């Protein structure tokens, strides 16, 4: 898997998630991000051009480092200061409680192995009035499509290096103690249905 994991996969990911269609969705998803923001699963930094000017500083974490030169160039061109950390979001992050105004995840909740722990960390570091902003693919509401997702998921986990296509993103976010304020469900244009069932929205910490 060395050549695939280290060379081919990062380039495939950067290309498939760097299209105009995905960029349009990134722009919509990131519009409400404000203040000091944390991005989990930073990947190759494809969100950077889409952050609004209300973002004053970005802390970016990822458990892997991919295409370091490309990422460094994107960080240099970003309009806000960006600090990058090599960290696993499902372990305790070295940030104090209630530090961030916004936490962002795009195309990442599918591939975090211990998602409940990562969502608990996101909740811990988010200010009470902050927002968790997400743009994710996941489980279809159509039972026939969901069955196909369950069937193909073991293959997807290998090809997509731990990516799951069948996670019910909204339910998992709510179960972690968030209230979803806005949610758009749609199919990503040009994507096969089992991979393109999208969840775009914002959640706040549930005070119940």
Ligand X SMILES: C[S@@+](CC[C@H](N)C(=O)[O-])C[C@H]1O[C@@H](n2cnc3c(N)ncnc32)[C@H](O)[C@@H]1O
- Residues within the interface to ligand X (CB under 6 A): 13, 17, 40-41, 43, 46-47, 61-64, 88-90, 106-108, 111-112, 118
Residue 15 or residue 79: which is nearer to ligand X going by CB?
Answer: 15
Residue 147 or residue 158: which is nearer to ligand X going by CB?
Answer: 158
Contact between residue 100 and residue 162 where contact means Cβ atoms under 8 Å apart = no
Q: Which of 14, 7, 28 is nearest to 182 (CA)?
A: 28
Residue 12 or residue 144: which is nearer to ligand X going by CB?
Answer: 12
CB of 107 to ligand X, least distance (A): 4
Instruction: Find the residue with minimal CB distance to ligand X.
Output: 43
Residue 102 or residue 106: which is nearer to ligand X going by CB?
Answer: 106
CB of 181 to ligand X, least distance (A): 21
C-alpha 67/C-alpha 58 separation (Å) is 19
Residue 113 or residue 206: which is nearer to ligand X going by CB?
Answer: 113
CB of 83 to ligand X, least distance (A): 15
CB of 130 to ligand X, least distance (A): 19
C-alpha 199/C-alpha 7 separation (Å) is 29
Residue 146 or residue 195: which is nearer to ligand X going by CB?
Answer: 195
CB of 208 to ligand X, least distance (A): 27
CB of 120 to ligand X, least distance (A): 13
DSSP line for the chain = -HHIIIIIHHHHHHHHTSSHHHHHHHHHHHTT--EEEEEES-TT-TTGGG--TTEEEEEEEESS---HHHHHHHHHH-SS-EEEEE--TTSPPSS-TT-EEEEEEES-TTT-TTHHHHHHHHHHHEEEEEEEEEEEE---SSHHHHHHHHHHHHHHHHHTTS--S---HHHHHHHTTEEEEEEEEEEPTTS-TTT-EEEEEEEEE---
């Amino acid at each position: 898997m060395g050549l695939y994991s280290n060379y081919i996969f990062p380039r495939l990911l950067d290309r498939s998630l760097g299209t105009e269609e995905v960029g349009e969705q990134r722009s919509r998803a990131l519009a409400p991000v404000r203040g000091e923001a944390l991005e989990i699963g930073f990947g190759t930094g494809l969100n950077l051009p889409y952050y609004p000017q209300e973002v004053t500083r970005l802390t970016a974490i990822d458990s892997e480092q991919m295409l370091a030169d490309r990422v460094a160039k994107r960080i240099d061109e970003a309009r806000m200061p960006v600090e990058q950390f090599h960290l696993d979001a499902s372990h305790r992050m070295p940030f104090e409680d209630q530090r961030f105004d916004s936490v962002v995840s795009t195309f990442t909740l599918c591939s975090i192995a211990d998602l409940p722990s990562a969502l608990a960390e996101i909740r811990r570091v988010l200010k009470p009035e902050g927002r968790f902003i997400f743009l994710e693919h996941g489980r279809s509401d159509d039972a026939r499509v969901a069955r196909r997702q369950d069937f193909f998921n073991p293959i997807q986990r290998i090809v997509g290096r731990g990516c799951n296509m069948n996670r019910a993103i909204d339910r998992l976010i709510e179960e972690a103690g968030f209230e979803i304020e806005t949610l758009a469900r749609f199919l990503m244009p040009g994507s096969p249905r089992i991979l393109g069932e999208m969840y775009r929205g914002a959640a706040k910490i549930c005070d119940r």
